[in-house]
Amino acid sequence: MIDTIGGDIPAGEERLRLDVEDGIGILTLCRPGKLNAWSWESTRQLGLFADRIRFDDSIRAVLLRAEGRAFCAGIDITAPGGAITGRSGAERAHRTYEGVRWAHERFRAFAALPQPVVAAVQGYCLGFGFELALMADVRVAADDAVFAFPEAQVGVAVDAGGDLRVAREAGAGWAKLLALTGRRIDAATAERLHLLQQVVPPGELADAAYALAAEIAANAPLAVRGVKRGIDAYADAGLAGALDRVAMNAAITLTSEDSREGYGAKGEGRTPMFEGR
């Protein structure tokens, strides 16, 4: 039986959809025409669904998936509410810092769900898409998946802690290489770096990820949740303090002249001229 859960999300404004089937909460990024690009509204909806999943004892595991040819191609720069306003640079930085901290609270609610999360990734998994996948506990990808942190190429910081999670899984050197260059890696490389736990042909992704979520859901819930909490407590030691630095970095870079130049150059198809201001 499949139960679709909507709630406080107006029809036509869905960024994510939650279906519950046989103990598995299937959380789907559902804007394939936009390559599931992320926005403030996506973040709000993720927080809403995280709160529902957290207290739903019928959900024993979560499958995070996406419709279409991409998992998530990054931030939707055309989305409403994305403009940074303020009477001064300091006020814009302050508002951005608080906005990023608000987003971090929603991401933390998702990453800290008592139920384990299995991510199924296909196609582009870029910028925030990569960060979202890294919030899952276990990741399965199609062999056509592509991963990158392109933020520095447009003058902004990686702002949801994805680079920190790569450092945790693959080491600081790889985290710096990916975040400092914006270089793309394929699924085979991501698996070698322990960022993925399984790589399959695209046609097998849905079944492989669902089977893994079902395998977890079949186990004793108290034991499963305890295992997740224990491992996270060890692996995420120091993460909270580091994420506050990430929020400040994001506030500084998102309000910088360099980011304005970076996004402008990208839109115009030219090489940006960064000046460090």
The whole-angstrom separation of Cα 58 and Cα 71 is 26
Q: Which of 13, 67, 91, 131 is the catalytic position? A: 131
Q: Which of 14, 21, 151, 268 is the catalytic position? A: 151
DSSP bridge pairs for 121 = 141
Alpha-carbon Rg for the chain, nearest whole angstrom, is 18
Which of these, 247, 204, 220, lies nearest to 95 by C-alpha position? 247
**Are 205 and 141 within 8 A, CB to CB?**
yes
146-148 β-sheet, strand order: 124-126, 146-148, 185-186
Q: Give yes or no: 151 in active site.
A: yes
The whole-angstrom separation of Cα 110 and Cα 104 is 10
Active site residues: 131, 151
